[in-house]
Amino acid sequence: MNKIIIAIDGHSSCGKSTVAKALAKALGYTYIDTGAMYRAITLYFLQNQIDYTRLADVKEALQHIHLSFEKVNSEEMPQIHLNGENVELYIRGLEVAGHVSPVAAIPEVRSFAVQQQQEMGKDGGVVMDGRDIGTVVFPNAELKIFMTAAPEVRAERRHKELLATKNEVSYQDVYKNLMERDEQDSTRNVSPLRKADDAIEIDTSYISRQEQFEQVLALAEERIKKNYQKLA
């Protein structure tokens, strides 16, 4: 009864997913990576050579896309599956990253994904991260957090992540991609990236992952306690 919805929004590579996963595990909540949903849709478009500038092609393609989050083992967080296939590794490369912002800006794509996200989180007990969770998907979420970090710090983090997965790419290319995504995400007509008026901002530039987690956990525990008192 006292489980709440926690919305974590922010820029790429500012630590949203890492802290959201840790928070969900600590609270016993379900973690939903909405960015992975848009990346999986983008992957489908690329694999099937869908011209996403043609609305008719997009509408047709969406009818053949089924997204789900499934655990690989009992210890790990659920991973994104596209039409029954685990595509977690495939969606993290620079090719998908280069197309995901324009795909995610398509109103029909957002409507398709948002409807699923709202269904997943309607009963509470979820930690959901993305770019429009606190503004569009769950504007009434009990806790909204907006995470950000300096562009050069975010690019360095993302570069290290890609190298760890054997994606050979230069820091300059990663930085350029992040800046382009920031611009596209913040200026799109549908559900642009912005901080909700009642969101708490956390700058992760120069704090450790543990410090990020501790800040967010304290906020979550406070809101859960308040929600319990309200319901009592």
Count of beta carbons in the 10 Å neighbourhood of residue 55:
12
Whether pLDDT at 1 is above 70: no
- 12: closest CA among 32, 39, 47, 51? 39
Count of beta carbons in the 10 Å neighbourhood of residue 172:
10
What whole-number distance in Å separates Cα of residue 15 and Cα of residue 5? 19
Instruction: Tell me the per-residue pLDDT of 188-211, one tens digit each, with 9 for 90 and over.
Output: 888 899 999 999 999 999 999 999
| 3-class state of residue 143 by DSSP | strand
Q: Cα Rg for the chain, rounded, in angstroms? A: 17
Beta pairing class for 79-82 and 30-33: unpaired
Q: What's the whole-model pTM score?
A: 0.86
Domain 5-225 belongs to what architecture? 3-Layer(aba) Sandwich (3.40)
Instruction: Tell me the per-residue pLDDT of 67-108, one tens digit each, with 9 for 90 and over.
Output: 999 888 766 788 999 999 999 999 988 899 899 999 999 999
Q: Provide the sign of the torsion angle of the four alpha carbons 130, 132, 136, 138, taken in this order.
A: positive
How far is the CA of 156 from the CAs of 16, 93, 165, 179, in angstroms?
15, 15, 15, 13
What value does the mean pLDDT of the chain take?
A: 93
What whole-number distance in Å separates Cα of residue 54 and Cα of residue 56? 6
Residue 205 has what DSSP assignment? T
